[in-house]
Amino acid sequence: MARLDVTETFHHISFPGHLHTQESLSYATGFQFQDSDTLIVTYPKSGTTWMQEALTLVFSKGDSTLAHSMPNWARAPWLEQYYCPEVLRASRGPRIITTHLPYHLLAPALQGSKAKVIYVARNPKDVAVSYYHFHKMANFLPEPGSFGEFLSEFLSGTVHYGSWFDHVKGWTSQARNLNFFYITYEEMWQELRGSLERLSTFLQCPLVAAELTSAQQHCTFSSMKENSMVNYTLIPEEIMDHTKGQFMRKGKIGDWRNTFTEEQNRNFDEVFKAEMQDSQLRFVWESPEKLDSPESLKTRTVTQNPTLQGA
């Protein structure tokens, strides 16, 4: 299935035809969740792969065998991508499933479900920059043009997978109706160990200190960058052009400052303010001073979000 230049439009949202078909998207919206399922929900470039790795290591109690032997898309397949049914048929034990779909498309499937839903959000300026670079290397995404052109599309929600604003608002508005856990990329960056601990509590899979330490070590940026099961180097050159960039690119908070012009930033802030005026969500936009390494184990202040814990 190459279809690198094909775009699938489903409920007014465009998706890369390389990974999605009308059939696969309909399969997702009609999916029968089991209460034992764990669903990772993200807008692209928000820390999806990081959370896939985190859950793999929490469920394996810090044992990295699976994380180093099976690609992330086989461990935690994207529900809406065409290969998902096959992966799930072959899977044993509790399933980890991933999705980039907006809430309204999965609402009927999740109605009354006790499946655990983990939502990872990231400050949208860093998402936009990361997504832009990903467009340059991923041959199944459209040519992004200049960053300014891409940013306009990102802000108007016409990029693949739709609007970041609709995604984050749609899912977080359902926190009370779902078995829901909200976390940000920035919290994971600042407090990886604490984040893994909170996740393990939510997943009812407590880890002893040594297991937590091992999980933490395998989830660092440097560790994941070297792990071919998550760094996408297994994907052939014609699909992801590794000469144009790396999937594990920078892994920073506040990298947007190196790309946004002042005008782009002002415009972004205006749109953000208008879109998010009724939202309680708070984002960390800058790298906390002197914190340039996610591996550092120092205690840090994490900006608190309102508790978005579900049923």
Please select the residue that binds ligand A3P; options are 3, 27, 44, 91, rule is CB under 6 A. 44
Please select the residue that binds ligand A3P; options are 21, 38, 46, 113, rule is CB under 6 A. 46
Return the range that interacts with ligand A3P (CB under 6 A); candidates 39-47, 152-160, 210-218, 263-271. Answer: 39-47
Return the range that interacts with ligand A3P (CB under 6 A); candidates 12-20, 40-48, 56-64, 143-151. Answer: 40-48
Least distance from ligand A3P to the Cβ atom of residue 311, Å: 26
C-alpha–C-alpha distance, residues 172 and 104, integer Å = 12
Q: Does 75 bind ligand A3P (CB under 6 A)?
A: no
The residue whose two tokens read 């908070």 is 253
Return the range that interacts with ligand A3P (CB under 6 A); candidates 7-15, 32-40, 198-206, 248-256. Answer: 248-256
Please select the residue that binds ligand A3P; options are 16, 17, 47, 170, rule is CB under 6 A. 47
Least distance from ligand A3P to the Cβ atom of residue 51, Å: 8
Q: Does 233 bind ligand A3P (CB under 6 A)?
A: no
Q: Which is nearer to ligand A3P, 113 or 130 (CB)?
A: 130
Could you give the strand order of the β-sheet that contains 38-42, starting from the edge strand earlier in sequence?
A: 96-99, 38-42, 116-121, 179-184
The residue whose two tokens read 């976390």 is 183
Q: Does 73 bind ligand A3P (CB under 6 A)?
A: no
Let me know: does 52 contact 72? Beta carbons within 8 Å. yes
Least distance from ligand A3P to the Cβ atom of residue 155, Å: 18
Rounded to 5 degrees, what are φ and ψ at 119?
Answer: -100, 125
Helices (H), the chain: 22-29, 48-59, 72-75, 84-90, 103-110, 124-137, 147-156, 164-172, 185-190, 192-202, 209-218, 221-226, 262-275
Number of chain positions touching ligand A3P (CB under 6 A)? 22
Q: Which of 18, 100, 133, 135 is catalytic?
A: 100
Distance of CA 73 to the CA centre of its chain: 13
C-alpha–C-alpha distance, residues 169 and 255, integer Å = 24
Continuous segment of H or E residues that includes residue 183: strand 179-184
Active site residue 100: yes
Q: Which is nearer to ligand A3P, 54 or 113 (CB)?
A: 54
Question: What sign has the CA pseudo-torsion 241, 85, 230, 158?
Answer: positive
Q: Does 81 bind ligand A3P (CB under 6 A)?
A: no
Q: Which residues bind ligand A3P (CB under 6 A)?
A: 42, 44-50, 126, 130, 133, 189, 219-221, 224, 248-251, 255, 294
